[in-house]
Structure 1
Amino acid sequence: MKPMTREQIDDVTSALGFATAADPDGVLRAVRALQYADRQRANPIAVRQALAAAQTVVKRLLAIETEHATTRAAIACLVVANNRGDDFSLSDLAFELEQAAVDLKDDYDTADALARAVEGEGLL
């Protein structure tokens, strides 16, 4: 999959205006609204609701695309710096992502719990 360019992200952001990003449950609601509108095409309210829901999903996808681009850029910068003789670590990557507002706290917690479970298997 080819990531969106910064210009494409900016264009979509501008086109969406003040639409809010769907939360995880909102994605499911949007899919259901789209399915309902597909069955009720003559119902302008259903169609309007489906279009509004679709915009929230696009806004969420755009946020994910932006975070993905930020993560890729941080990784690339540190790899290139290391290839040129610097000595950055994964802690440096974590710091860079934190500075760019990429929140990995839940991911760290999950990884820590998994590591503890794997370590605990040796004790059983």
Structure 2
Amino acid sequence: MYFVDRSIAVIKPKKPFLEWLNSLPENEVTLSLDDIRSDCTVLMIPEVNEQEDGIAYIDDMADKVFEMELASWAQDSKLWPKSRNLKTFWDWFDVEIHTVLMDSVDQDIHNSPTTDHGLH
């Protein structure tokens, strides 16, 4: 096991995100909050010692995270909510900050840019 010099943020959709998701025209299945919170996006963030520092980091990139989450369900940005400010982000998502990240795999991590947002 290896300590990684990062912390993590788990992005968990809340009810307003679910309502938007279930209102999408191409959505054929009605999802529940449990459905969309069971396998959430996890972001590696700079190493933090305090939860508040991780939250501040997410505040600074909330617009990117918001768009990434929306795009992972609907590629067409015309379907996205018009208001995507910081308050709306926090109304739509819970964020868990975890300060310790361990790597249990004895291989290098390979990074690639997130050009394809079709995650779900």
- Normalization by structure 1: what TM-score? 0.26
- Normalization by structure 2: what TM-score? 0.27
Q: Find the structure with the greater CA-based Rg.
A: 1
Higher helix proportion: 1
Higher strand proportion: 2
